[in-house]
Amino acid sequence: MVWVIYSLLSGFCFATADALSKKAMEQENQYLIAWARLAYCLPFLMPMLIFTKIPVLGLTFWLTILITLPLELTAYVLYIRAIKVSPLSLTIPFLSLTPVFSIFVSFVILKELPSVAGIIGVILVAIGGYTLNLHLVSGGILAPLKAIVQERGSFYMLIVSFIFSITVTLGKLAILHSNPTFFGVLYFTLFGVVFTPLAIVKSRQPITTFFKASKSYFLIGLFFAAMIISHCLAIRLVEVSYMVSIKRSSLLFSIIYGGLIFKEENIRERLLGGLLMMLGMILITLF
């Protein structure tokens, strides 16, 4: 059961990196912080290559990377915007929609029908999403649903979840044509290189700002790297679907951070909604 510990650690570190990033964005540009997540995690990731066998990389691997990077770049920009403009407790839970979208993608492309457990899972995710804004029900039964679209961060995260439903499959393909650790280090290095010019242009900050010493950058990079490392350690020991279902505990950690650090409101109903969404995601993913 060591993989459970690694998966929980990955989820905790993911949520912590998000909370630290949101806090830093109160004072600094969002693109600068987004860049720091990637750049400052690399010093912690690079040493892993010493203990990793370098695989032979074929055309499939590089084509997959070429297709995945622009999709991930789009998702990453929207992800950072989401946690900046909206409460963590109203944005991160929508990551649980990724397996829901995957069901529909599989049905459209492969004509695969979900299992009974999968259908129940979709219903639970929907109920959980509704529960996140349950306090608005006095304004009408559809008010909690309208709030999802009206809350920019939630809407951005819906798009991110859909993109992730595609890239998670592409990422698995790349891992099958390399290995988890090597892929994690190489992919985030390439991602950082690609994202840097965009961050410089969009942030409108002097280039020297990107290389200043900062405790917050260091902490964000540390937890982001710990997320990637624990992810790789877990995925070596168990099937991807099992690991991801536990890692998504990050949505519960994020809701708790929202209440403790950012004093977000209605945390109890959002915890209930988050629990329902996570349970639904587990049913979809594992059964």
**pLDDT tens-digit series, residues 113-165:** 677 887 888 888 888 888 888 877 767 776 777 777 788 898 999 999 889 88
Cα–Cα distance between 261 and 37 in angstroms, integer?
20
pLDDT at 10: 93
Q: Would the pLDDT of 18 be above 80? A: yes
Find the farthest-apart pair of alpha carbons in the chain and give their distance in angstroms, rounded: 60
Domain count, the chain: 1
Number of neighbouring beta carbons within 10 Å of residue 137: 13
CB 252 within 8 A of CB 274: yes
Instruction: Please determine, for residue 35, whether its predicted confidence score (pLDDT) is greater than 90.
Output: yes
Band of pLDDT at residue 15, cut at 50, 70 and 90: very high
For residue 167, give its domain range.
2-286
CB atoms within 10 A of CB 110: 8
Q: Of residues 192 and 172, which shows the higher confidence score?
A: 192
pTM of the full predicted structure? 0.86
Contact 146, 281 (CB under 8 A): no
Q: Which long-range contacts (CB under 8 A, 24 or more apart) does 50-56 make?
A: 51/181, 52/179, 52/181, 52/182, 52/185, 53/179, 53/182, 54/182, 55/177, 55/178, 55/179, 55/182
Q: What is the pLDDT of residue 258?
A: 93
Mean pLDDT of the chain: 86
The terminus-to-terminus CA distance of the chain in angstroms comes to 19
Kindly indicate the confidence band of residue 109, based on its pLDDT and cuts at 50, 70 and 90.
low
The structure tokens 């999802």 sit at 148
| CA angle in degrees (0–180, nearest 5) for 93-39-73 | 50
